[in-house]
A and B are shown apart, each in its own frame.
Chain A
Amino acid sequence: GQSLEQPSEVTAVEGAIVQINCTYQTSGFYGLSWYQQHDGGAPTFLSYNALDGLEETGRFSSFLSRSDSYGYLLLQELQMKDSASYFCAAPDNAGNMLTFGGGTRLMVKP
């Protein structure tokens, strides 16, 4: 089976940098995805790491270490609109179904 653990809540101030960690246990591993969900909205895709290392997309970066079964999402130059829940997710060993972590609620304060 799959299990992904992430902190339930993180608070940071506008303009700062925040890191959201995710540790996982999976029977097979295809990679780690990150999704963002605003209150009342739908999850939307942010990034995907298939290989170790850092992937950068604008203010957001995602990191994966397969040997440590660990990844993180890094958000830089935080803006108020970044207040949302962030989910890490990993597919099953056939690559078909995603299991989501419990989500990290990020609150950005002025």
Chain B
Amino acid sequence: DAGVIQSPRHEVTEMGQEVTLRCKPISGHDYLFWYRQTMMRGLELLIYFNNNVPIDDSGMPEDRFSAKMPNASFSTLKIQPSEPRDSAVYFCASSLGLAGTDTQYFGPGTRLTVL
């Protein structure tokens, strides 16, 4: 398997623009997670899905952020409108089962810069 795939790898945009990050989890994994990593706040969980259904989005910072998983092989994280403080590395991860017992496999991340 190719592992978790994310696109784009780098994104530079201007404040106010819409940004869409994409993720393809490992085939057969039932759980998908979106994380954000910054120097100040470390690695934070934003939202996770189980069998394509959003289970917990309490980590989503505000209404400007939204995530979808239309099928088992694709998820998006959208920021609209983007702000400079959204600049971070966004990781998608997937796992077979519960985080407590199953390894999470991370994608390479998308480095987002909002000017």
Contacts and interface: CB of A to CB of B under 8 A. Distances in A.
Contacts of B105: 45
Contacts of B55: 96
A60 interface: no
Interface stretch (B14-22, B75-83, B96-104): B96-104
Interface in B91-115: 91, 93, 98-101, 103-109
Contacts, number: 57
A91 interface: yes
A108 B10 CA distance: 29
A42 B107 contact: yes
Interface residues of A, number: 22
Contacts of A41: 108
Contact of A95 (B101, B107, B108, B109): B101
Given A42-B109, A45-B104, A45-B105, A95 B43 contact: no
A6 B5 CA distance: 30
A61 B101 CA distance: 18
B56 A97 contact: yes
A100 interface: yes
B88 interface: no
B45 A87 contact: no
Nearest to B43: A100
A101 B101 CA distance: 18
Interface string A17-44: 0000000000000110000000001111
B43 A44 contact: no
6 contacts: A42-B108, A45-B105, A95-B98, A96-B50, A98-B99, A103-B43
Interface of A: 30-31, 41-45, 48, 50, 87, 91-92, 94-103
